[in-house]
Amino acid sequence: MMGICRKMILHSTMILFLGFALTGCFATSTPKAAPPMVKRGGVAPKAAILPIMNTNDSEIAEAVSQGLVSCLLDRNVLKFESMDSVAMAVKEIGIDLTRIFGQDKAKLKRLAEQLGVDYTFYGVVTVRKDLKFTGWRKDVDVFISLYDATGQKLDSWRSMTGFTWAKGSTALDARKMARSAVNHTCAKMLERQY
């Protein structure tokens, strides 16, 4: 009887493992490739990207912001208002860029009206370094939210990319790490019709 139970458990475990393997549910530490370069036709809507909040690495936050803008511009998905105009409007309206989740709806509406944009993006970037059983791991966690011109939240995307080393030194070019997270996030954003 015990032998039958063990076989059933082993069989169930193998089916579960194959299910995860076939659906891609395992997390990987390999960088994501850039999304396909397919340009959309027509006039792209205008958007503003608020300065992305960083919890501990401003260089990576800046690289994520620039990478997303570049990825969406290159594919004619959105046109972006200049960062200087956005920064001036954010200061004038008094938008709190230290809020991790959610922004004031009325202030985002004012921002969209003032800049003449259809959408506003806001996000948070976190960088963590941990020692795991397999070695040192550095994770870039990107969370981006999309708001319409009324300040209503429409969608959000999250990408967490891990890089693992056997040595204690995890120095890696910040732009390479950010690019991997941006590629994954941008690919997800491209699934949406603006």
pLDDT tens per residue across span 33-84: 788 888 888 999 999 998 887 767 777 888 888 889 999 999 999 999 999 9
47 inside domain: yes
13 inside domain: no
Span 145-151, mean pLDDT?
A: 94
107 inside domain: yes
Q: What is the pLDDT of residue 162?
A: 65
194 inside domain: no
Query: Contacts by 148-153 with C-beta closer than 8 Å and gap 24+?
Result: 148/112, 148/118, 148/119, 149/109, 149/112, 149/113, 149/117, 149/118, 149/119, 150/105, 150/109, 150/112, 151/103, 151/104, 151/105, 151/106, 151/107, 151/108, 151/109, 151/112, 151/120, 152/105, 153/102
Q: The domain spanning residue 130 has which CATH number?
A: 3.40.50.10610
29 inside domain: no
pLDDT tens per residue across span 71-123: 999 999 999 999 999 999 999 999 988 876 667 899 999 999 999 999 999 88
Total domain count, the chain: 1
31 inside domain: no
22 inside domain: no
The whole domain housing 93 covers 42-189
118 inside domain: yes
The most confident of the ranges 23-27, 78-82, 95-99, 157-161 is 78-82
